[in-house]
Amino acid sequence: MTHDLLAALRPLLTAEADAEAHATGTEPADLEQAVWLRLLEHLATDGPPLDPQGWLRRAVRAEARRNRRTARRERPFAGDPAEDGDRGPEQIVLTAARHRALRDAVHRLPGRCSRLLDALLSPQDLTYREIARELGISQGSLGPERSRCLGCLRRLLTPEVAARELRG
């Protein structure tokens, strides 16, 4: 039943996402992925919608509105608040050493984690949309991929941080 519903809705979702995505500056595949997620959530809580096609059209438009609001609210990161104010030369050297250690650890990460975290740490402050385009993956996949990569980075840095703390 659910498989038949998904197969029947796929062409409609593709068409609707293609129509709405460009007005929001979103990739159609990202919009489709978000709507599929909403549909799965709906199926899990309320079962199949009574009017699947109408529900799908409303969901696509709701996701498009959500993407437009998010795009309007996105602002470039202005800088590290911890770096504000007067700092002595010791603090500047320690901060530079921490940044260098982080960059070195990022470059030791496996797979595309290194490229993803490099893009996230970029001084250009790229948006998720720009990062997804640069890496050739969907914007909706960035969050889970980022979490996985940060977990790898955390495991990679834990021995270094623990070793430094032991030395005092």
Alpha carbons 141 and 58: distance in angstroms, whole number: 23
Crossing angle (nearest 10°) for helices 28-46 and 2-24: 140
pLDDT category, 142, cuts 50, 70, 90? confident
Tell if the pTM clears 0.75, that is, is over it: no
Question: What is the reported pLDDT for 12?
Answer: 92
Mean pLDDT of 112-123: 87
pLDDT category, 168, cuts 50, 70, 90? very low
Q: Which domains does the chain have, with CATH numbers?
A: 2-73 (no CATH), 85-167 (1.10.10.10)
Helix (H) or strand (E) holding 4: helix 2-24
Question: What is the reported pLDDT for 103?
Answer: 85
- Average per-residue pLDDT in the chain? 83
Mean pLDDT of 38-43: 89
CA-to-CA dists, residue 36 to 44, 62, 125, 150, angstroms: 12, 13, 29, 26
Per-residue pLDDT of 70-108, as tens digits, reads 877 777 666 555 555 567 888 888 888 888 888 888 888
Closest to 49 (Cα-Cα) out of 1, 83, 97: 1
